[in-house]
Amino acid sequence: MRKFTFLRKKIQAKDRALQEKLVTRYFDDVQLGNEPAAGKGTGFNSEEVYNRIISNIDAMPVKRAGSGKKWMVAASLFAVASLSVLFFEYRLQILDVVSPIAQKQFTAANGQVASLTLQDGTKIWLNGGSKLTYPAEFRGSTREIALTGEAFLEVEHDAKKAFIVHTGSIKTQVLGTSFNVKAYPEDAFVKVAVTTGKVGVVATGKAGVIQPLAKTVFLTPAQEVVMNKKDLSAVTTKSVDVENITGWKNGDFIVKNMPLPEVLNAIYHRYNVTVKADANLVKCSISANFTNVSLQNIIKIISKLVRGKATADGPGYRLKGKGC
């Protein structure tokens, strides 16, 4: 073995058994009978033998011990990537479960006007007898609130997040504008009037899903839509007096060609006093400026306009008369 001392110097293999196996394989392949006889001028060419052994070593198939681990790593990376895609797609739903956003309520009692500013900077005024439900913060691609009653909104503009007001089966959507929404439970309609910007109003139905045949009504400044809650029909009016419509937030009480039942509802939410009227008076319409007028005088004025008479009815009043 002295002849192969050079192998120890040039091959730094850690596995001695593998070295022996490779050397044995080399000599098994050598056909000594075909080798030229050694003469005086023939010597041992250690470099050639070394190179031939190395060639055999390189030609041997090597089984990589870590190949199984690599497959496991690849599978793990694929699983992580798949989970990442799913998480991104359903991240909002996951966040709603892991870290739900608190829902808040803001109300204005009858006889009051209240205001608040939402997390996005939107300003809202509530008329008496109204309730607003809204999230502590807006998450996702929309800003959605629910309203019962009447409100005036100055929506902070955000081109990436539409602002949506749900009023039962009616949905009002904007990007950034100011408008008035009237949707009291006792009213048979939802009214939306625009002060600035552009507003879209559409019927969604009880399930909150837009109806197949429903058309969005688009409104611009000084336009108003009255949408029937029952059949979801819509009537649009142009050139309305939005200052009169929205004056309530500043303490004004102005009605213009307003049906008597709606006027009496406005009195109830403003003064917390119930005024009832006979059936033959419900078709009457009222136009008057009741700003800074006492409730007693308002009742007297309405009585004259409907050619009737007001009498006490418990804590409230009852209107009787011939009608308009």
pLDDT category at 22 given cuts 50, 70, 90 is low
Taking Cα atoms as reference points, which of 131, 133, 123 lies closest to residue 246? 123
Taking Cα atoms as reference points, which of 199, 197, 201 lies closest to residue 189? 201
Pairing of strands 162-167, 142-154: parallel
Distances (CA, A) of 249 to 109, 152, 269, 292, 302: 14, 8, 13, 14, 22
Residue-wise pLDDT for 65-96, tens only, equals 555 666 676 666 656 565 555 544 555 556 56
- Its pTM stands at 0.70
Residues in Cβ contact with 293 at an 8 Å cutoff, skipping those fewer than 6 apart: 253, 301
Output the pLDDT for position 241: 95
Output the pLDDT for position 321: 87
Enter the tokens of residue 305.
Answer: 């306009």
Alpha-carbon distance of 24 to 276, in angstroms, equals 114
3-state DSSP call for residue 48? helix
Alpha-carbon distance of 212 to 217, in angstroms, equals 15
pLDDT category at 3 given cuts 50, 70, 90 is very low
pLDDT category at 98 given cuts 50, 70, 90 is low
